[in-house]
Amino acid sequence: MRDIILIAPPAAGKGTQSKLLQEKYHIPHISTGDLLRAATNEQSELGDIIRKTMETGALVTDDIVLRLLEERISKDDCKNGYILDGFPRNINQAESYLKLLEKLNRPLGDVIYLDASKDITKKRIVGRLSCPTCGAVYNDQIEDNKPKMFGTCDLCHGALSKRKDDNEETFEKRYQTFMNETYPLINYFRSKGCLYTVGSGISKERTFSEIEKIINRG
């Protein structure tokens, strides 16, 4: 099993595919956001630095993120591979990550780009509805995902709600940030001969099937 990096625009299914991969192949899903949040709960000098940085709204430095990542991927449960989510976000981080892998004597593995159109990803975010009672998720802009009764959960009949940041303005900012900072990684990893592109605009099942073909190749 190879290590896997997933790259995707907002709402292209990165979290969903990470979960499916983790469940089927029993490899850890490593989110740099989760690593940072966990570190803030530790009573250590590094934990204090991260906590104070995040409280001010500033970004934690790449050096700190790499320290946490090195510690995490050096653990026994990563020996057979892992899924990396949220890192690298730009070419500078990618170059630092490759140096870390060289230090740890690990190959780069597979980089999979989940490709979905801007129109589809916008609908997924702007139309997202969730049930606070049972956790079911719907979408009022995608026909197959609409609740049977407007504003009401099909499962428990609870009132559906929308997150405040699920709006067009926030989506546009997140999407533009992805295009400016993260999209250049596509050509960067393609030049390394390890990039694979998978369509993520139809269904999670079809996307997962295509990912499996990549990771199970000879």
Beta strands in the chain (DSSP E): 4-7, 29-31, 83-85, 110-115, 128-130, 137-139, 195-199
**pLDDT score of 46:** 84
**pLDDT score of 194:** 92
Range 4-116+168-215: architecture per CATH:
3-Layer(aba) Sandwich (3.40)
Query: Which positions are annotated as active-site residues?
Result: 14, 89, 128, 163, 174
Question: Using H for helix, E for strand and C for coil, what is the string for 132-180?
Answer: CCCCCEEECCCHHHCCCECCECCCCCCECECCCCCCHHHHHHHHHHHHH
Amino acid at 64: I
Distance of CA 71 to the CA centre of its chain: 20
Which residues, at least 6 apart from 122, have a Cβ–Cβ distance to it below 8 Å? 11, 168, 171, 175
Count of C-beta atoms within a 10 Å radius of residue 25:
15
Q: What is the pTM (predicted TM-score) of this model?
A: 0.85
What does the block give as tokens for 109? 């593995």
**pLDDT score of 163:** 85
**pLDDT score of 218:** 65
**pLDDT score of 1:** 72
pLDDT tens per residue across all 218 residues of the chain: 789 999 999 999 898 899 999 999 999 999 888 888 888 888 788 888 888 888 887 778 899 999 999 999 999 999 999 999 889 999 999 999 999 999 999 999 999 999 999 999 999 999 999 999 998 889 999 888 899 999 999 999 999 998 888 899 989 999 999 999 999 999 999 999 999 999 998 888 999 999 999 999 86
Ordered by start, the domain boundaries in the chain are 4-116+168-215
**pLDDT score of 52:** 86
